[in-house]
Amino acid sequence: MTMDSFDQLVQGRRSIRKYTKEIPSEDTILRMISCAAMAPSPSNSQVVRFIRIQSETVRNNLQLSLESGYQRFLKCAEGIQNGKRLRNRINVYKRYSDFIFAAPLLFAVGFDTGHSGFSKILHEAGVLEKDFRGPIDLDITVGLALKGFILKAETLGIGTCIVSAPFVFIEHMEAILGLTGISVRCLMTAGYPDETPTHMERKDPRDIYQVIS
């Protein structure tokens, strides 16, 4: 297979955790958000939301909550079987979480919880026992929007990193952010890269593809 420019864009993207101090302009941010907004969504509901966390107070509160969760997990790991190995894992994920607070741009990304999808409509009508599809469909929508954002960012020389590890440490994410009616599904950093991560091997397409005939 030959690579076109889009292949090169996708394969050249890396998750960036170290950034220069330069903050991308609001126009640059809106160009990335615009591409995210083009993502498909159930019934064209356009429920995905990007919340830029600019407040130092809010960032500090998130960091304090993360540190509190980290210490709580370390204490829980004391005296249990394989406790040392568990503490090592906790330390690794803490390290992969701390960098977000130094990033020029930090976003919370999620969806508007007011959307009534097909599964939710059936559940509210008493036809389904629970709305088992709604959250899955909306998580897929968030992922599609993120893809548009990070690929546009790549064309603008902006590095990004999508992170979920902080959610394990941080309690009451939406309350700290002061959000209502929005379910935050991940955090994302962005900025001009100050590192060039090496390529990480990916599975061959034939390893993730099959045909049911």
Residue range 95-118, pLDDT digits in tens: 999 999 999 999 999 999 988 888
- When computed from its CA atoms, the radius of gyration of the chain, rounded to whole angstroms, is 19
Identity of residue 205: P
Higher pLDDT, 72 or 79: 72
* Residue 9 within any structural domain of the chain: no
Tell me whether residue 202 is in a domain.
no
Report the amino acid identity of residue 71: Q
Domain membership flag for residue 18: yes
CATH of the domain at 55: 3.40.109.10
Q: What is the pLDDT of residue 2?
A: 57
β-pairing verdict for 182-191 and 159-163: antiparallel
Asked if pLDDT for residue 135 goes beyond 90, the answer is: no
Give the separation between CA 62 and CA 189, rounded to whole angstroms.
Answer: 14
Give the confidence band of 177 by pLDDT, cuts at 50, 70, 90: very high
What are the CB-based long-range contacts (under 8 Å, 24+) for 205-211?
none
- Domains in the chain: how many in total? 1
Domain holding 70, by residue range, is 14-190
Task: Answer whether residue 212 is part of any domain.
Answer: no
pTM for the structure as a whole? 0.92
> Residue 134 — very low, low, confident or very high, per pLDDT cuts 50/70/90?
confident
Contacts of 116 (CB under 8 A, 6+ apart): 124
Nearest to 110 by CA among 173, 28, 29, 27: 173
Is 160 inside any structural domain? yes
